[in-house]
Amino acid sequence: MLALLPLLGDALPLVPTDARWIGVALGDLDAIHADHLHCERKAAQSALSLIRSYPERTDLVTAMARLAHDETRHVVQVSQLMARRQQPAAYDFGDDYAVRLRDHIRKKEPLRLLDRLLVFAVIEARSAERLQILADNLEDERARDLYASLATAEVRHRDIFLALARDTDGVTWRARAAELAEIEAEVFIDRPITARIHG
């Protein structure tokens, strides 16, 4: 069983979202939800990809299988919200935010595993921040409740990835988490403000 330390997230400080983002997001909720559906799908796929790469890590296999289960449930929940809103779906045209973060994953093991876990932790942390902002600002009560519950789940996922990173390299994980948080800040601040979860 994976032991989660309290306040593990302190290892991963994030710059706050630009205050203008929520106005853009509320102005095109169809785009937000359509993008969000794919974020949840990709989160499930990322978790399963770690099982493919590291089947010998039974702690990781169990944690990632459960996490992928959470994420596929989130796909269902977002899909149901979209159906209730009778809004159009959209294809996924890629997410250069995640691509730019993944560029910093080192090639050699076990550094590669450490970096993959920490990049996923960063993405979970940013997703949680954005989903909580939506929860705090949406008018529809059911959508607010859904987004608040999703934000809580993504914080828990962030801590699962951090705990796995800690158990992968107990010496350097905090320093590397701090480096990746700085890299994320550069990537994030650099982006145009759009109606996307990481936009």
Task: Fill in the per-residue mask, 43 to 72: x = in contact with Fe ion (CB under 5 A), - = not in contact.
Answer: x---------------------------x-
Q: How far apart are CA 65 and CA 69, in angstroms?
A: 6
Given 74, 116, 196, 198, the residue binding Fe ion (CB under 5 A): 74
Beta carbons of 24 and 195 less than 8 angstroms apart: yes
Q: Which is nearer to Fe ion, 106 or 156 (CB)?
A: 156
Q: Does residue 166 interact with Fe ion by CB under 5 A? A: no
Chain position carrying tokens 């158990």? 167
Query: What are the φ and ψ backbone dihedral angles of 159, each rounded to 5 degrees?
Result: -70, -30
**SS3 call for 121:** helix
Q: Give the C-alpha separation, 106 to 111, whole Å.
A: 6
33 binds Fe ion (CB under 5 A): no
Instruction: Tell me which of 95, 154, 159, 184 binds Fe ion, using CB under 5 A.
Output: 154
CB 180 within 8 A of CB 122: yes
Please tell me whether residue 35 binds Fe ion under the rule CB under 5 A: no
Residue 157 interacting with Fe ion (CB under 5 A): yes
- Which residues of this protein are in contact with Fe ion, per CB under 5 A? 40, 43, 71, 74, 124, 154, 157
